[in-house]
Amino acid sequence: MAKPAVRRQTYHHGDLRAALIEAGLRLLADRAVDALSLREVARAVGVSATAVYRHFPDKDALLRTLAGEGLNRLARAQRAASDAAGGGSAGFAATGRAYVRFALANPALFRLIFASPCQDGVAGGAPEPEALALLRANAAASIGNDQDSDAARIASIRAWSLVHGLAMLMLDGQVPVDDALIEAVIDRGPRPMP
């Protein structure tokens, strides 16, 4: 009597690319960007290291994708904070506080997002990231100006500088991580220049 053929189980994942991105984001929660490897991401998903290369030709490609997803998550957190505050100047301030809190909750991902120049937020004709679009719209509304005006551009840079600077100071231990301090520093949106 012949032995029945043993069917070998192979690992199959419905959306390996998405699983790799999620694994990369989870791993960044525990380590710095430099400590992340493609092999480690593959291991976390349960696939061979070569399987990763079908979706990401190198570590830089994975990191760019992780940074993009991080920026999307930051935008969602900011949008939710703005909506919860009722929009307007209160919503704008809420987006700033959400920015700092996102940085503190996701330090490696936050650093990755801003590790390379964003060329005013848009590279190579790519659509403007939602976080940048929200910043520009809120800054323009806060000063009663058109989004494309120089005054709105300066207001958006001022607001971004404030929240990014506070986030970095807290991440680097230069300023204590203190929720009351975040509230006090980001009390409302940017003020027009005198």
Q: What was the pLDDT predicted at 13?
A: 54
- Residue 40 above 80 pLDDT? yes
Say how far apart CA 156 and CA 140 lie, in whole Å: 8
pLDDT digits (tens, 9 = 90+) for 9-26: 334 557 899 999 999 999
Q: What was the pLDDT predicted at 117?
A: 58
Is 14-57 assigned to CATH 1.10.10.60? yes
Q: What was the pLDDT predicted at 138?
A: 87
Q: What was the pLDDT predicted at 139?
A: 87
- Structure confidence at residue 7 as a pLDDT band (50, 70, 90): very low
- Residue 68 above 80 pLDDT? yes
**Rounded mean pLDDT, 35-41:** 93
Q: Report whether 33 contacts 108 (CB < 8 A).
A: yes
Q: What was the pLDDT predicted at 128?
A: 80
- CA-closest candidate to residue 89, choices 191, 194, 164: 191
pLDDT digits (tens, 9 = 90+) for 79-128: 999 999 998 889 999 999 999 999 999 999 999 999 865 544 444 556 78
pLDDT digits (tens, 9 = 90+) for 135-184: 988 888 888 877 788 888 999 999 999 999 999 999 999 999 999 999 99
Say how far apart CA 66 and CA 41 lie, in whole Å: 12
- Residue 188 above 70 pLDDT? no
Q: Which residue has the tokens 């525990």?
A: 30
Domain ranges in the chain are 14-57, 67-185
Cβ neighbors of 104 (< 8 A, separation 6 or more) are 167, 170, 171, 177
Question: Which of these CATH numbers, 1.10.287.610, 3.30.565.10, 3.40.50.1100, 1.10.357.10, describes 67-185?
Answer: 1.10.357.10
